[in-house]
Structure formats: C-alpha cells, structure tokens
C-alpha cells in the first residue's frame, strides 16, 4: 500500500515511516526538508501521486495562539486539498487527548482547528487522540532550563512511548476510516515533574525543577483533564521500560 507521512522527519513521523516500511508498505516522506512545503503546497501534488492514505504527524513550535491556528489551518488545508485532487481514500490525523477541554493553550487551539478541517473535509478520515509522549517531560524542562534550573507544571498525564504511537498510526492507516478514534495512552498515569526528574537523572544531568502553573500550562490542565477517557486503547510500553532503554 502506498502511504504518505506528513512530518516524516519529526519524532513520530520517522517512527511511523519505519513501522510502515517494516510491514512492507511503500512510504512517501512529506517534509519541507525533502522538498514538499505544506505551507505553500509546493511539491504536494507530485508527492501524493498514487497515494492511498496519508498520516499527518506534523507539529508546530508556535507559542502564539493566532500563529498556531494559522499554521495548522494552512498546512492542513493545503494537505487536504491535495489529497482530494489525488484521490486519497484515508486521512489519519495524530491529535492530542484533552484539547477540547483546555481553552488557553495555543498549541491546542491549533490542533482544534486541524481537527475541524479534517472532520469537515471530503477526504474520509480518522482522528487519533494520543497522550503525551514519554519524552515530553524532558522536552518541557528544556524549554525553560537556565543555569541549571527549570520550571515545569505538575501535570498528571498517562504517557505513551513514541514507538507505540507510530505502531498505532501505521495500523490505522492501512485500515478503513473510523472517524474519531478512541483515546490512546500508555499503561500508567505519571506526574510530569517526577518524569522530568527521572529522565534527566537517566541522562546523567542535574537540573533543579521548580513546579509551577505560571508557564505555558495553567491550572485548566490540572487534575484528570489530560487523562484518557473510558474505553481507551492502552499501549504496552511503560514509562519505566522506556526510561531503562534510554540509559
């Protein structure tokens, strides 16, 4: 099966490409660094020629709400239009658990716009809401780390291994469109501060972590807001197992 992966050079994109190729599929890598620009649409028609399904694993570092919405709106609109011209039969969108319960987060606003466009579009679709990844805590700490100190919100999440996310996306892309898929998460709830501490320790790094709600993640994300709902699909790899592999 010929499947395109948008965001193919990113964290999840690379793993999804590998999972699909492992299973014998013909994978088209869609990335600006590979000559396909989702913001302008340049190279998209050629890239999607003969493609049956598209996995959208693109991301954005925008911290401004309007910028995030504009980025996801433009890239998703261009991708869906090109898919329609190419006769793509299945659009698989990687999304995030809890984005419809949190209003103040710029990234979540962009993802909601992405979901809106996909669900309103003419290309049959599956939206896959996924928990934060096992490496998320280290990434968040890195955003604010300065002189050996980092602020981090005490989020409660149920993190998932990036490789498990890729396996789920690859599986769904080869099947029929399912609309909104069930939440997908890892086996156990974790505290983000503790995850960051343990991950940094595994890397041999000493960073003082200061828990706070004053950064990008406010109290609207406290409690069980980011946890999966009932009937969630639980991926196999625990945080401990993932962490052990990082040492």
Mean pLDDT by 10 residues, the chain (247 residues): 96 97 97 94 96 96 92 97 98 97 91 98 98 96 94 97 98 97 98 96 93 89 94 97 89
User: Residue 17 has what pLDDT?
Assistant: 98
Structural domain count of the chain: 1
Q: Give me the torsion for CA of 172, 178, 4, 65, rounded to 10°.
A: -110
pTM for the predicted model, two decimal places? 0.95
CB 5 within 8 A of CB 174: no
CB 111 within 8 A of CB 99: yes
User: Residue 98 has what pLDDT?
Assistant: 95
CB 152 within 8 A of CB 232: no
Tokens of 26: 């013909």
Nearest to 193 by CA among 214, 208, 174: 208
User: Residue 51 has what pLDDT?
Assistant: 98
User: Residue 247 has what pLDDT?
Assistant: 74
Q: What is the DSSP string of 9-42?
A: TSHHHHHHHHHHHHTT-EEEEE-GGGT--TTT-T
Q: Which domain holds residue 237?
A: 2-246
Q: Please name the residue that has the structure tokens 């999840």.
A: 12
Query: On the CB side of 71, how many CA atoms lie within 13 Å of its CA?
Result: 17
CATH number of the CATH domain containing 225: 3.40.50.720
Angle formed at CA 99 by CA 97 and CA 104, multiple of 5 degrees: 145
User: Residue 215 has what pLDDT?
Assistant: 81
User: Residue 176 has what pLDDT?
Assistant: 97
User: Residue 216 has what pLDDT?
Assistant: 81
Q: Measured between alpha carbons, how far is 243 from 245 in angstroms, rounded to an integer? A: 5
Beta-ladder partners of 4: 28, 54
């Amino acid at each position: 099966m010929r499947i395109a992966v948008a965001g193919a050079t990113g964290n999840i994109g690379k793993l999804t490409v590998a999972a699909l190729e492992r299973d014998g599929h013909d994978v088209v890598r869609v990335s600006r660094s590979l000559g396909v620009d989702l913001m302008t649409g340049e190279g998209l028609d050629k890239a999607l020629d003969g493609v049956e399904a598209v996995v959208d694993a693109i991301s954005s570092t925008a911290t401004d709400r309007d910028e995030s919405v504009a980025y996801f709106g433009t890239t998703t609109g261009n991708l869906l239009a090109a898919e329609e011209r190419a006769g793509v039969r299945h659009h698989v969108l990687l999304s995030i658990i809890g984005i419809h319960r949190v209003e103040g987060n710029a990234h979540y606003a962009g993802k909601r716009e992405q979901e809106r466009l996909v669900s309103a579009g003419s290309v049959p679709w599956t939206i896959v809401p996924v928990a934060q990844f096992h490496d998320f805590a280290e990434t968040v700490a890195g955003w604010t780390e300065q002189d050996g100190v980092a602020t981090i919100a005490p989020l409660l999440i149920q993190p998932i291994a990036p490789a498990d996310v890729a396996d789920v996306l690859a599986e769904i892309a080869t099947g029929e469109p399912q609309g909104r898929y069930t939440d997908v998460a890892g086996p156990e709830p974790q505290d983000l501060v503790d995850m960051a501490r343990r991950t940094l320790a595994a890397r041999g790094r000493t960073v003082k972590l200061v828990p706070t709600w004053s950064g990008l993640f406010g109290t609207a994300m406290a409690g069980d807001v980011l946890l999966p709902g009932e009937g969630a699909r639980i991926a196999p790899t625990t945080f401990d197992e993932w962490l052990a592999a990082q040492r």
